[in-house]
Structure 1
Amino acid sequence: MNAQRRFRHGDPVGPLARTPEQWKAWALTIGQRPFRGTQIFQWLHARQQLDPDGMTDVPKAVRALLKTELEQHVPTLERVHEAADGTRKLVLRLTDHSAVESVLIPMDAEDKGEDDTELEDEQDQACAQKQRVTECVSTQAGCAMGCVFCASGHPGLLRHLTPDEIIAQVLIGRALLKPSQRLSNIVLMGMGEPLHNYDATVHAIQLMNCQEGLALSSRRITISTVGLVPQIDQLGKDFQGRIGLAISLHAADDAVRTRLLPINRRYPLQMLMQALRRYPLPPRRRLTIEIALIDGVNDSEQMARSLVALLRGIPVKINLIPLNPVPHTALRPPSEQRVEAFQEVLTRSGLSCFIRRRRGDDISAACGQLAGHPTSLIRQEPSPPRS
């Protein structure tokens, strides 16, 4: 794939990105009956068996064909970094030797209230008995958006990921879960801007939804965007608001936001707010607004009051993220007192607002720190075999 070539709907896909119907058609091309394709899809997606040698009821000749295909398309799990808080960062080596990172984030009682799907979990006794894990997934190697506080965009856009490379992160991540854990949510908040790689991202989401495979509800998948307005509108049409939408807002003032996020020149706040008002939210669903608080830049109480005015009438919950430092910038997080004062202005106005706890910052796995390169470790696990 050319570095800047984006997957488009209808393009050929690799083995992990085939739908069940495409697998049935593939089976026919090699002289097998359609059920063989269904079998393979379930091995890959429902059981996360990415090594064909482990597909015990698939003929040996078919497994040999699969092995060749998978080697050409599937990333290799190169390294797993584990933080003191149990967060794990996966470093995946792509077939062209680029690297991307995804993160497994264990959730606990302190995270209660931040996730709109919690009520469903509490009503499902089987779910309640296992620890929820959210996986943060990448959609690009590098990023073209140029946000000044984010490590992912520092090298620029290296290339768009294919649907295979996006869904592979989820399959590999789920296979690494402990027996006491379950994959409850996917957040497309890793390296890259998901809506800049729209068709590949949507194709991967549709595979996550597939009942014969991962069977993840759209309600449990969230896309984070810096605010690409046409794609926000398209996402609303394609999923009718069933996909969670998180907006990397970071400022309620165009001048400050443009300084932090250059995309604001193309889609300024007024245009973005109009898109959010158009987004077709189902009952009891809210948009997520993300604010990375930066000392002396966007952390004033006046900025908080401006945010209240900007978001008036839009159903939102707000995540305040004290900035996670990255090597290429001198920007720093505010004091705890300033973060709490900012939150107080928002909550007094009636807005639902949470201060996000740092997760995995000791292994550079926190928000804004993913960069696709090795990290100093607290603890490192060996890569498990691909089976």
Structure 2
Amino acid sequence: MRSTPLHPVARLPEEWSASLAARGERSFTAKQVFQWIHRRGVLDPAAMTNLPARLREHLAAEGLGEVLTPERVHRSEDGTRKLLLRLRDGATIETVLLPSVSGPGSHAQLDADAAAADDEDDDAAAEADAAPRVRVTQCISTQVGCAMGCGFCASGVAGLKRHLGAEEIAGQVLLGRAMLEEGEELRNVVYMGMGEPLHNYEATARSLRLLTHPEGINLSTRRVTVSTSGLVPEIARLGADFGGQIALAISLHAADDETRSALMPINRKHPLDELLAALRAYPLPRRRRITIEYTLVAGQNDDPAEARRLAKLLRGLPVKINLIPMNPIEASSLGPPAQERVAAFQEVLTQAGYSCFVRRRRGDDVSAACGQLVLLGAKPKVRRALG
């Protein structure tokens, strides 16, 4: 049973139908309200001009309005924009807009985050004649802080402060879409920002239903990726609840339990054999692949022998691998390997038959790159080399 009322922005059309029918409103008004919020991105009831005045007053009284406010926009030299957002309780989170140009003659210059949600095989022919445009991937957060404590990530420096509500998760996309620039199109959404999405399962799942609803933004499930550090029961739940249609990315980062447990404490609860069994059981649609995210940390997990272990570990799974040279963070003395080391690691995996990509560094000059999103005001606690 829900202990607190569902925020208006978090309601699905059928929930609007029930609540408005109880007030004697006509049945079609539920669809109108949902479309105002999630298709048009309008959260001010006074601007919902085709609704009766009495209903607009009721929606305002219920608290319908902006759930987060853009406080600062950091623009990278490469076009990446990191948005610092303030929530109603004063907490702050970050979300990132990653533009990438595609069209005739380009080869979908996607960041690896975008590639995680963007298996292009089915769309390549249809888009071959499309006009050039800027396709944007948005990286969104699901928690204020994070409880996972991964050694290469800034988001968990201060620990978990609170979960985000579904309205705050989906609200990032509503706001991000409103802040697109001329010629830009929101193409992909990746749950790879602050927090562990599956640790906040109920709100994450509800936000997925909001963002993919045909009466709202109507994002294709093929364009939405949920990344997890390896919460095994919730991986199974996500697969069951969405029929495997939501793309899955796994933060793996090591091919043996000892190394992975040192980098990622969650591995002590859900070790690799348990995690790999969950991936094999995930109801992946035909021609879809799981994304394996592997942050390369100098001296920790970047040896070619480790690449060979990884190739063996993943054998038989439909995967693609994103290698991520660690982005520097203030809270850690760890860092990325030399470029030659990264290339050698990739070569081992490529020769083993895997699709393997090295993530281009995007937005690191404004601390918007992978692992750099941080809770404002968090006091850094420096993490030393592991092992």
Distance (Å, rounded) in 2 between the aligned partners of 1:207 and 1:336:
41
Query: Cα offset for 1:189?
Result: 0.6
Match of 1:47 among 21, 40, 60: 40
Distance (Å, rounded) in 1 between the aligned partners of 2:73 and 2:19:
34
Query: Cα offset for 1:128?
Result: 5.7
Per mean C-alpha deviation after superposition, the further-off stretch among 72-81 and 148-157 is 72-81
In the other structure, the counterpart of 1:359 is: 362
Per mean C-alpha deviation after superposition, the further-off stretch among 22-31 and 122-131 is 122-131
In the other structure, the counterpart of 2:329 is: 326
* Larger RCO (CA within 8 A; separation ≥ 6): 1
CA contact (8 A) 1:91 1:372 kept: no
In the other structure, the counterpart of 1:19 is: 12
In the other structure, the counterpart of 1:380 is: none
Query: Cα offset for 1:257?
Result: 0.6
CA contact (8 A) 1:76 1:94 kept: yes
SS for the counterpart of 1:332 is coil
Distance (Å, rounded) in 1 between the aligned partners of 2:31 and 2:255:
49
Distance (Å, rounded) in 2 between the aligned partners of 1:363 and 1:112:
16
Query: Cα offset for 1:370?
Result: 0.8
Which TM-score applies when normalising by structure 2? Answer: 0.90
Which TM-score applies when normalising by structure 1? Answer: 0.90
SS for the counterpart of 1:186 is strand
Alignment-mate amino acid for residue 272 of structure 1 = L
- 1:311 and 2:314 are equivalent in the alignment: yes
Distance (Å, rounded) in 2 between the aligned partners of 1:78 and 1:71:
20
Distance (Å, rounded) in 1 between the aligned partners of 2:123 and 2:61:
40
Quickly say closer, same or farther: Cα 1:78–1:71, change in 2 above 3 A. farther
Alignment-mate amino acid for residue 110 of structure 1 = Q
Paired-residue identity, %: 55
Distance (Å, rounded) in 2 between the aligned partners of 1:73 and 1:271:
41
Distance (Å, rounded) in 1 between the aligned partners of 2:2 and 2:190:
22
CA contact (8 A) 2:84 2:92 kept: yes
Ranges in structure 2 where 5+ consecutive residues have no aligned partner: 102-107, 379-387
Distance (Å, rounded) in 2 between the aligned partners of 1:60 and 1:199:
33
SS for the counterpart of 2:186 is strand
In the other structure, the counterpart of 2:245 is: 242
C-alpha distance after superposition, 1:201-234 (max 9, x if no partner): 0011011111010111111111100101111111
Distance (Å, rounded) in 2 between the aligned partners of 1:73 and 1:179:
23
CA contact (8 A) 2:302 2:342 kept: yes
CA contact (8 A) 1:25 1:34 kept: no
In the other structure, the counterpart of 1:100 is: 93
Per mean C-alpha deviation after superposition, the further-off stretch among 346-355 and 273-282 is 273-282
- 1:274 and 2:277 are equivalent in the alignment: yes
In the other structure, the counterpart of 1:384 is: none
SS for the counterpart of 1:111 is coil
C-alpha distance after superposition, 1:46-81 (max 9, x if no partner): 111122333222233433333344467712222222
Quickly say closer, same or farther: Cα 1:142–1:182, change in 2 above 3 A. same
SS for the counterpart of 1:222 is strand
Quickly say closer, same or farther: Cα 1:305–1:135, change in 2 above 3 A. same
C-alpha distance after superposition, 1:85-136 (max 9, x if no partner): 1111121111111111111111233328935432444444597643211111
Distance (Å, rounded) in 2 between the aligned partners of 1:356 and 1:100:
23
Alignment RMSD: 2.2
Quickly say closer, same or farther: Cα 1:148–1:16, change in 2 above 3 A. same
Alignment-mate amino acid for residue 213 of structure 1 = G
State how 1:112-191 maps to structure 2 within 5 Å. 114=115, 116-124=118-126, 129-191=132-194
Query: Cα offset for 1:149?
Result: 1.1
C-alpha distance after superposition, 1:262-302 (max 9, x if no partner): 01111111111111111111111111000111111111101
- 1:63 and 2:56 are equivalent in the alignment: yes
Distance (Å, rounded) in 1 between the aligned partners of 2:149 and 2:372:
14
Distance (Å, rounded) in 2 between the aligned partners of 1:129 and 1:19:
35
Ranges in structure 1 where 5+ consecutive residues have no aligned partner: 1-7, 376-387
